[in-house]
């Protein structure tokens, strides 16, 4: 048992590290895009990637999850049948839809592109090749995971993203290919991963489909699609809605750029989730597991709120840092910085969702998870249509905030029936209320002050946040003792 848990923990660290590094590398493209793409070009890229996100779910058709379910480590022949069924299904769908977009590329290209974009039909078709190339690697990547090749999986994912990022630099900065360069970089990155997988595909792909197994896999796969679509809606549906309702290329690009600046909280939640799941699964038989989960929830809120304050306060200085082509973020997008705290909060709620999901996984009641995500997706769409006409991209940010809050709240309500935990709500609300007070103070005091004074004030407010928690009795005796010992240790170093 200990050996299995150790392996699980090691794999989790590997997958988590590769995911975090990959997302960080992808974030580096945001400054490049803001400095080397004109707003109408970036607008076209954002809209295209929104379509790609939905197509990735359609192309997968849940067959990747079905491959996980029907993979048989003790029977290679059955595993090959599962690989074949999944791989052929995914790519047949991808090819047919790509052919559809080839035929109607001119229509869709001119539909979504600005009048300033030259040859939008060709660009749109090139963009639609991205999800098709991705579909060629879905099942092979799943095969690496099922065959316990975590390091190979992580390295290949990382290299694919790294090559894509480098090619973006080359195509945009040196060759000035604009949107075409963005799409070509993605396609080449996926193609290199596909070429690596060719031997694995040859070894696992059979010449015929097992119809009986295919029906069983499809029966398993199709119910997973609504949850996947709901998750994608939460992440990207606001972009096309924003474009349709505002008809402004600056609205969607400003929103996208500043939305991406919420990445610190997103990475924190990702790292936490990768570490959290194997941790609590290893404690299932412990008598005090609920108490442990409650304490972890409190500390998650503390760290999350501290990160919220730090990045909300200092993001205006971070975007001014020097970068290739100018600043970290092009100044034309700075007016949208006011949505960053909203997006940070949305990701924070997603972290609370991860905390509440533990009980459902422990009790094997995961059927409830898609319910909260599905309702949140509906809320997201409705809120976008209501708020965007009134508030523009700020309304889209609040729609995101609301939908993640709803998904978290619904899951908590359901968790009270499935796996009730007595969370330390007094301490949690103390954290949240103190965070709100400090945030409001910063907002009220930042008017008509110099930059140096502003930085010093923000640092003081961060320290005041911790001092207020101490004064109001947030930290218990054990925590106070640990903090004192830590400070003494640092002082003696």
Instruction: Quote the pLDDT of residue 188.
Output: 96
Better pLDDT: 7 or 29: 29
Residues 396-446 pLDDT 10s: 999 999 999 999 999 999 999 999 999 999 999 999 999 999 999 998 887
Better pLDDT: 281 or 60: 60
d(CA 199, CA 300): 44
* Beta carbons of 343 and 261 less than 8 angstroms apart: yes
E-strand ranges in 238-370 read 322-323, 326-327
Q: Measured over all CA atoms, what is the biggest interatomic distance in the chain, rounded to whole angstroms?
A: 72
* Beta carbons of 407 and 234 less than 8 angstroms apart: yes
Confidence of residue 450 (pLDDT cuts 50, 70, 90): low
Nearest CA to 301 out of 378, 354, 223 is that of: 354
Mean pLDDT, residues 365-370? 84
* Residue 286 reports pLDDT greater than 90: no
DSSP secondary structure, 436-455, as one string:
HHHHHHHHHH-TT--HHHHH
Better pLDDT: 280 or 42: 42
Instruction: Quote the pLDDT of residue 226.
Output: 86
Confidence of residue 492 (pLDDT cuts 50, 70, 90): low
Nearest CA to 46 out of 239, 242, 307 is that of: 239
Residues 45-93 pLDDT 10s: 999 999 999 999 999 888 888 888 888 877 888 889 999 999 999 999 9
This prediction's pTM: 0.90
d(CA 182, CA 159): 17
Confidence of residue 485 (pLDDT cuts 50, 70, 90): low
Nearest CA to 439 out of 351, 350, 308 is that of: 308
Q: 162-178 burial, b for 16+ CB within 10 Å, e for fewer?
A: ebbbebbbebbeeeebb
Confidence of residue 1 (pLDDT cuts 50, 70, 90): very low
Contacts 24+ apart (CB under 8 A), 201-204: 201/87, 201/140, 204/79, 204/80, 204/83, 204/84, 204/87, 204/143
Give the 3-state DSSP-derived string for 338-361, with helices as H, strands as E and coil as C.
Answer: HHHHHHHHHHHHHHHHHHHHHHHH
Mean pLDDT, residues 477-484? 69
Supply the DSSP symbol for 322. E
What average pLDDT does the chain have? 89
Instruction: Quote the pLDDT of residue 17.
Output: 74
* Residue 4 reports pLDDT greater than 70: no
Sign, CA dihedral 144-150-156-160, equals: positive
d(CA 340, CA 315): 8
Cα 270 from chain centre: 8
* Residue 112 reports pLDDT greater than 90: no
Q: Rg of the chain over CA atoms, in angstroms?
A: 24
* Beta carbons of 343 and 400 less than 8 angstroms apart: yes
Instruction: Quote the pLDDT of residue 60.
Output: 86
Mean pLDDT, residues 262-268? 93
Mean pLDDT, residues 207-236? 87
**The length of the chain, given as a count of residues:** 493
As to burial, measured by CB atoms within 10 angstroms (0-12 exposed, 13-18 middle, 19+ buried), residue 426 is exposed
d(CA 141, CA 196): 11
d(CA 353, CA 411): 7
Cα 121 from chain centre: 29
- Which residues fall within 8 angstroms of residue 93, CB to CB, at 6 or more apart? 58, 59, 61, 135
Nearest CA to 393 out of 253, 262, 235, 234 is that of: 253
Sign, CA dihedral 434-440-445-449, equals: positive
């Amino acid at each position: 048992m200990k050996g299995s848990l150790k392996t699980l923990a090691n794999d989790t660290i590997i997958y988590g590290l590769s995911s975090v590094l990959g997302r960080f590398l992808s974030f580096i493209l945001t400054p490049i895009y803001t400095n080397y793409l004109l707003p109408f070009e970036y607008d076209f890229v954002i809209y295209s990637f929104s379509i790609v996100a939905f197509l990735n779910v359609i192309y997968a058709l849940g067959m990747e999850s079905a491959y996980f379910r029907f993979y048989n480590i003790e029977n290679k022949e059955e595993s090959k049948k599962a690989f074949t069924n999944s791989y052929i299904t995914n790519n047949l769908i991808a090819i047919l839809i790509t052919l559809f977009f080839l035929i109607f590329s001119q229509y869709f290209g001119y539909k979504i592109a600005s009048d300033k974009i030259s040859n939008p039909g060709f660009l749109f078709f090139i963009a639609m090749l991205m999800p098709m190339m991705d579909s060629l690697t879905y099942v092979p990547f799943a095969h690496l995971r099922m065959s316990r090749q975590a390091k190979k999986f992580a390295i290949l994912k990382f290299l694919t993203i790294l090559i894509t990022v480098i090619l973006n630099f080359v195509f945009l900065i040196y060759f000035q290919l604009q949107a075409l360069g963005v799409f070509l970089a993605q396609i080449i990155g996926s193609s290199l991963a596909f070429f690596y997988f060719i031997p694995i595909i040859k070894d696992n792909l059979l010449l015929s489909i097992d119809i009986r197994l295919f029906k069983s896999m499809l029966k398993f796969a199709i119910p997973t699609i609504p949850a996947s679509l709901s998750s994608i809606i939460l992440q990207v549906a606001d972009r096309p809605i924003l474009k349709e309702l505002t008809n402004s290329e600056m609205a969607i690009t400003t929103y996208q750029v500043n939305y991406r600046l919420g990445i610190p909280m997103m990475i924190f939640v990702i790292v936490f989730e990768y570490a959290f799941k194997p941790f609590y699964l290893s404690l299932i038989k412990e008598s005090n597991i609920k108490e442990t989960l409650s304490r972890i929830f409190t500390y998650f809120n503390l760290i999350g709120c501290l990160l919220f304050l730090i990045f909300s306060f200092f993001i205006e200085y971070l975007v001014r840092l020097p970068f290739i082509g100018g600043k970290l973020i092009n100044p034309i997008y700075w007016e949208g910085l006011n949505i960053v705290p909203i997006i940070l909060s949305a990701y924070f709620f997603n972290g609370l969702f991860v905390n509440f999901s533990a009980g459902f996984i422990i009790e094997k009641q995961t059927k409830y998870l898609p319910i909260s995500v599905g309702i949140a997706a509906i809320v997201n769409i409705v809120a976008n249509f209501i708020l965007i006409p009134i508030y523009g991209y700020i309304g889209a940010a609040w729609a995101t905030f609301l939908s993640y809050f709803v998904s978290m709240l619904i899951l908590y309500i359901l968790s009270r029936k499935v796996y009730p935990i007595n969370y330390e709500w007094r301490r949690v609300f103390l954290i949240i209320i103190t965070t709100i007070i400090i945030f409001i103070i910063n907002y009220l005091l930042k008017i008509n002050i110099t930059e140096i004074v502003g930085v010093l004030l923000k640092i003081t407010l961060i320290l005041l946040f911790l001092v207020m928690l101490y004064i109001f009795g947030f930290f218990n005796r054990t925590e106070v003792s640990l903090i004192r010992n830590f400070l003494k240790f640092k002082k003696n170093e």
